[in-house]
Structure 1
Amino acid sequence: MPLNRRRWMLGTAAGLVASGPLRAADADPMPIFDAHLHYSHDAWERLPPKEAVALLRKAGLMRAMVSSSSDDGTQLLYKEAPDLILPSLRPYRKRGELGSWMHDATVPAMLEQRLAQYAYVAIGEYHIYGKDADLPVMRRVVQLAKQHKLFLHSHSDADAIERQFKQDPGARILWAHSGFDDPAKVRAMLGQHNNLWCDLAFRSDHATQGKVDAGWREAFMAYPDRFMVGTDTFTPERWYYVVEHANWTRAWLADLPRDVAERIGYRNGEALFASMALKPGGTT
């Protein structure tokens, strides 16, 4: 995503926190399952694990799904707070591999080594678009997820999602950012694939001033068990918005029926990920 759009969306979210009707931010705020966080090397260098975990707890997160570049960051957080952190294995050794990892034939071996050594609930978040989803490296990722019974956290267009399901019709995919697609397209994709879920990380189009957009409301009401929220700490600075983002999330969730809000806010994530028995070499 272009940097200026990222900055605009970050500013929009922060503004909504400041001005939105925080009806949910009361004495007993709704817990949050954050399905999209990163703790990459530039983050842990600035924000040590204890401080990062303290921020997550201050935000009222009951669980946080974390990936990082490299995976060492995720392991640092998991060691600090195994009750809070759900590790996801990213195929990036460092920043700057977003557009090249799928062409790197050494990636599958790295993933296999980490999967044998550490416990995870998913592979991702990874970036893959269109026909690149059919490249050998990506095909091996799909196979590894199937072998280890892991979710795929895919930052993709709809085409790449379709290609991954063709490789494994039984795959379980969490569609990062709901594909940055419009709610009608998201609804159509959810209707086609029972094993597709969507995170809402870095989306601000679904809610304005604490009110849920009509198109997104239709999607949430039609598929209340298929959405999760996320902060997306893609830069170290984003970590300092975790608390505000959680409060903003509670504000717009309060515009939905309570049962739907609770599903999106935390129950869906808990049902899908928190029950996975973590152990190296897979989750079974």
Structure 2
Amino acid sequence: MSSIIQRIAGIAVCALLPMCCGSASSDEPIRIFDAHSHYKSEDAGVFAPQDVIRIMDREGIDRMVVVGEPPARVQSLYRLAPSRIVPFLGLYEDYTQKASWMHDPTLPGRLRALLDTGTYRGIGEIHLFAGDKANPVFREIVGLAADRGLPILLHGDAEVVQQVFEWHPAATVIWAHLGTQPDPTLVDAMLRRFPLGLYVDTSVRDERFTENGALKPAWRSLFTRHADRILVAIDTFYVKRWQGIAEVTARIRHWLAQLPPEVADRLAHANADRLFRTEAAAAGAPVDAVPTGRRFD
């Protein structure tokens, strides 16, 4: 069966069985806190901020972590819906800087000035691979996050994650995409090694941990074993992802429904709710006073 037919089959099952799109305790679709998405200039040319909020309403996405490109792009969303948008400070003015940012010694200073505005709740997405793990620009950026208790959204190899915790053992890292080489054994080992500060998001990996719409047993075991450390994510990394978001959210709800309800709830929204303390921020608490990462209580 081709991957296209598999995707159609998964969506068809979800449409025919409404309960699969929610937890077992409710007929309502399980709510989603998207822990990793983007809003770029190209996206803004198609979807105005009001359109994004309407998409969230339509798809049952309560909240989103959003990285702007350029970095300030996310602020138009945040101003419109501050209780629903969690703004992350991106590093790139445009896509081409993904491969060169680590060679710009002026970048940490610019990020520091933006962080000092108090309107960002994390840093990233940061793309970095093992060969550059000790890069001094990266080290300075990690320090900016650690000093402020902000999580880092990291798209990188396991060695890069390890390097962050060597520098700052109390850091909080969201490891994007279940890692660069998704493997349940590796992810399990990393979560065991860093039991307090490491989280992983599921973005764009749904077809890696499912087969014909069914969760693979090893991934199901991982999600259940580390139910407090996995974050559901959509990753609107280009315009077509926004345009196809209905299919993405249906697929996510389909595999979530195969988990115990309490586990599905944690992955879908409860872990991110705790991590970002969105309710406290919406109530007017200063950003620096909102607990993040390890400080749940």
TM-score by length of 1: 0.90
1:190 paired to 2:191: yes
State the SS of the aligned residue for 2:30: coil
Q: Distance in 2 between matches of 1:47 and 1:238?
A: 12
When structure 1 is superposed on structure 2, of 59-68 and 15-24 the one drifting more is 15-24
Query: Structure 2: which amino acid aligns with 1:198?
Result: V
* Cα 1:94/1:131, change in 2 over 3 Å: same
Q: Distance in 2 between matches of 1:140 and 1:230?
A: 27
Match of 2:8 in 1: 15
Structure 1: stretches of 5+ with no match in the other structure: 1-7
* Cα 1:13/1:140, change in 2 over 3 Å: farther
Q: Distance in 2 between matches of 1:55 and 1:72?
A: 21
* Cα 1:271/1:282, change in 2 over 3 Å: closer
Task: Specify which structure has the bigger relative contact order, considering alpha-carbon pairs within 8 angstroms and separated by 6 or more residues.
Answer: 1
* Cα 1:14/1:41, change in 2 over 3 Å: farther
* Cα 1:12/1:59, change in 2 over 3 Å: farther
| Alpha-carbon distance, 1:279 to partner | 4.2
* Cα 1:280/1:28, change in 2 over 3 Å: closer
1:25 paired to 2:26: no
Q: Is the 8 A contact 2:67 2:90 kept in 1?
A: yes
Query: Structure 1: which amino acid aligns with 2:12?
Result: S
Match of 1:4 in 2: none
Q: Is the 8 A contact 1:19 1:209 kept in 2?
A: no
Question: 1:270 pairs with 266, 270, 273, which one?
Answer: 273
| Alpha-carbon distance, 1:209 to partner | 3.6
Q: Is the 8 A contact 2:7 2:213 kept in 1?
A: no
Match of 1:199 in 2: 201
Q: Distance in 1 between matches of 2:254 and 2:33?
A: 15
| Alpha-carbon distance, 1:49 to partner | 0.7
Q: Distance in 2 between matches of 1:158 and 1:146?
A: 19
State the SS of the aligned residue for 1:137: helix
Match of 2:295 in 1: none
Q: Is the 8 A contact 2:39 2:73 kept in 1?
A: yes
| Alpha-carbon distance, 1:274 to partner | 2.9
Q: Percent identity?
A: 32
Match of 1:261 in 2: 264
* Cα 1:270/1:224, change in 2 over 3 Å: same
TM-score by length of 2: 0.87
CA displacement 1:158-215 (0-9 Å, x = unmatched): 0111111111011010000011321111001001001110000000211234321111
1:178 paired to 2:178: yes
State the SS of the aligned residue for 1:28: coil
Match of 1:80 in 2: 80
For residues 90-105 of structure 1, the aligned pairs below 5 Å read: 90-105=90-105
| Alpha-carbon distance, 1:19 to partner | 3.1
Query: Structure 1: which amino acid aligns with 2:20?
Result: A
Structure 2: stretches of 5+ with no match in the other structure: 292-297
Q: Distance in 2 between matches of 1:280 and 1:221?
A: 31
